[in-house]
Amino acid sequence: MAELYQTKREYSKAEPLFQRALAIREKAPGPDHADLASSLNNLAVFYHYMAEYAKAEPHFQRALAIREKAPGPDHPDTASSLTIWRSFTAAWSLRQGRAALPARFGNP
The pLDDT of residue 98 is 58
Whole-angstrom distance, CA of residue 80 vs CA of residue 40: 13
pTM exceeds cut of 0.75? yes
Mean pLDDT by 10-residue block, N- to C-terminus, for the chain (108 residues)? 92 95 88 89 91 89 90 88 82 67 47
The pLDDT of residue 47 is 93
Tally of domains within the chain: 1
Quote the domain boundaries for residue 70: 2-105
Whole-angstrom distance, CA of residue 22 vs CA of residue 68: 19
